[in-house]
């Protein structure tokens, strides 16, 4: 027997498996799943906000510490060429380079929230103006310890970000 006749015989004797809607709505679950998948693929993904341990309380501690700082320290955050403008870059002196790298953004934000322009404090920010000089010295020492502890805790409690660069992508929806 030749192979052609065997092939024709097999083709006509086997029935094709078919399925259709026997009842109305029989494929509703599959259709709903496909619709959910289509909706998911058409929308931009939900990207979680960057996780940080630098809460409002942390920023308030840094701000309070900055409020008792000496004027020479505060002037480090002003541009050397234009003392009435805020510095855009970290200065080379005043603190260890590692401290500038770690704390520049927080310190800069704190001083900008305390002063309108460098050297001109906001009228609303008078946290420790009623203290005597001895009390102010004690407050400076305590605030320095509290601020250092808060900064250390903020770096230790920093949540792990996913390693993907997709989270920081500016064109994630495209």
What tens digit of pLDDT does each residue of 125-159 get? 777 878 888 998 999 999 999 999 998 888 876 65
CA 78 to chain centre: 26
Q: So what's the pLDDT on residue 11?
A: 75
Residue 13 confidence (pLDDT): 74
In the predicted model, residues of the chain with pLDDT beneath 70 are 1, 15-22, 47-51, 94, 157-174
Q: Are 82 and 123 in contact (CB under 8 A)?
A: no
48-51's contacts with Cβ under 8 Å and 24+ in sequence apart are 48/167, 50/161, 50/167, 51/158, 51/159, 51/160, 51/161
Per the structure block, which two tokens stand in for 133? 């000089």
pLDDT for res 5:
79
CB 62 within 8 A of CB 110: yes
- Closest-CA residue to 106 (of 146, 140, 62, 67): 62
- Structure-block tokens of residue 54: 């630098």
Q: Which pTM was predicted?
A: 0.60
**Cβ-based neighbours of 54, under 8 Å, separated by 6 or more:** 106, 154
Can you give the pLDDT at residue 50?
64
pLDDT value of residue 162: 59
- Averaged pLDDT score across all residues of the chain: 79
What is the rounded distance in angstroms from the CA atom of residue 49 to the CA atom of residue 51?
6
The answer to whether 107 touches 148, Cβ cutoff 8 Å, is no
Q: Which residues pair with 86 in a beta bridge?
A: 78
pLDDT of residue 142: 93
Q: Are 144 and 81 in contact (CB under 8 A)?
A: no
CA distance 140 to 135: 9
pLDDT value at residue 146: 92
Tokens of 139: 């407050």
């Amino acid at each position: 027997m030749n192979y052609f006749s065997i092939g024709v015989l097999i083709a006509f004797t086997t029935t094709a498996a078919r399925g259709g809607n026997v009842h109305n709505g029989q494929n509703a679950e599959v259709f709903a799943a496909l619709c959910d998948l289509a909706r998911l693929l058409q929308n931009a993904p939900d990207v979680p906000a960057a996780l940080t341990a630098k809460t409002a309380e942390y920023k308030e501690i840094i701000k309070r510490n900055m409020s008792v700082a000496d004027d020479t320290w505060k002037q480090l955050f002003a541009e050397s060429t234009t003392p009435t403008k805020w510095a855009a870059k970290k200065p080379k002196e005043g603190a260890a380079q590692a401290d500038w790298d770690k704390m520049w953004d927080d310190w800069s934000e704190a001083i900008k929230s305390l002063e309108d322009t460098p050297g001109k404090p906001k009228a609303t920010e008078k946290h420790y103006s009623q203290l005597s000089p001895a009390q102010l010295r004690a407050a400076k020492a305590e605030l320095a310890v509290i601020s250092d502890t808060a900064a250390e805790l903020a770096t230790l409690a920093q949540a792990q970000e996913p390693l993907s660069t997709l989270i920081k992508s500016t064109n994630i929806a495209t």
